[in-house]
Amino acid sequence: MNVIFGVAFFILGSLAVYVFQRKRFAKMTEEDFVCEVVQKAFAREKLSDHNEHNLVKALLKSDAFIKDLSLTAKFKGMIVGYILFTKVKVGDETLLALAPLAVLPKFQKKGIGKSLVEKGHAVAKKLGYKGVVVLGHPEYYTKLGYLPASKWGIKAPFEVADENFMAIELVPGALTGVSGVVEYAKEFGL
C-alpha cells in the first residue's frame, strides 16, 4: 500500500512540476530565456560579478545594441548559448565589444561557443565593422584568433592584465592605425 502511495505521490509531484514549468515557460520572452542562459553559464565563474544577465537586459535597450549581433544557439528549440556584440568607440572608429558569451554548463565544450563567435564575426564583417575587443580568458579567445589589444595600441578603460584584453581584426590589416582607449556603452558602468 505504501509503495502505491509513494508511486502516486511521485507521479503527481512530477506532473505538478511539469505543469508549473510549462506555465512559467509560456510566460517567458526570448529575452528572459537569454538572461537565464547567461545567469546559469556565469553562476560558477570565479571572476564573475554574477550580474551579466542584468548587463544584457540593459544592453538590449542601449544605443550600442545591434539586433543582428545578438545571437542565440538552440538545441531542440531551446536556447543553450548566447553571444552579444555592442558598439564601442576607439578614437574616431566604431568597433565592437564581445560581451557576454555564454553557454549553458551542460552544453559546454561541444563547439557552441566557438560557432557563436565565428557566426558573430561573419555578421560583423558583413556589416562593415573592422574589429572586436574582448575581456576574457586568453586560453579561450586566442584559439579563436584574438591577440592582446596592446598589439594595436588599443587600451581598456580599466586596469587589466595585458593578456586578458584582446582584439581581432575582421579583415587583415583593418585595425592598423586604430588605437586609443576603448569607450564602452554607458550601460557597462565603466
Ligand X SMILES: CC(C)(COP(=O)(O)OP(=O)(O)OC[C@H]1O[C@@H](n2cnc3c(N)ncnc32)[C@H](O)[C@@H]1OP(=O)(O)O)[C@@H](O)C(=O)NCCC(=O)NCCS
Report in angstroms how near the CB of residue 108 gets to ligand X at its nearest.
3
Q: Render the burial of 117-153: b for 16+ CB within 10 Å, e for the rest.
A: beebbeebbeeebbbbbbbbebeebeebebbbbeebe
149 near ligand X, rule: CB under 6 A: no
- Of these, 27, 139, 172, 189, which contacts ligand X (CB under 6 A)? 139
Distances (CA, A) of 181 to 12, 95, 138, 156: 59, 12, 20, 6
**Is the CB of 33 or the CB of 42 nearer to ligand X?**
42
Rounded to a whole number, what is the distance in angstroms from the first to the last CA of the chain? 64
Rounded Cα–Cα distance for residues 60 and 162 (Å): 29
Stretch that binds ligand X, among 20-28, 85-93, 100-108, 167-175 (CB under 6 A): 100-108
Smallest gap from residue 135 Cβ to ligand X (A): 7
Q: What is the CA radius of gyration of the chain?
A: 20
Using CB under 6 A, which residues numbered 19 to 58 contact ligand X?
A: 41-42, 45
Q: Whose CA is closest to 186, among 98, 96, 59, 54?
A: 59
Shortest separation between residue 180's beta carbon and ligand X, angstroms: 23
For ligand X, which stretch binds (CB under 6 A), given 1-9, 21-29, 97-105, 171-179?
A: 97-105
Nearer to ligand X, 63 or 162 (CB): 162
Chain residues in the site for ligand X (CB under 6 A)? 41-42, 45, 100-103, 108-114, 136-137, 139-140, 143
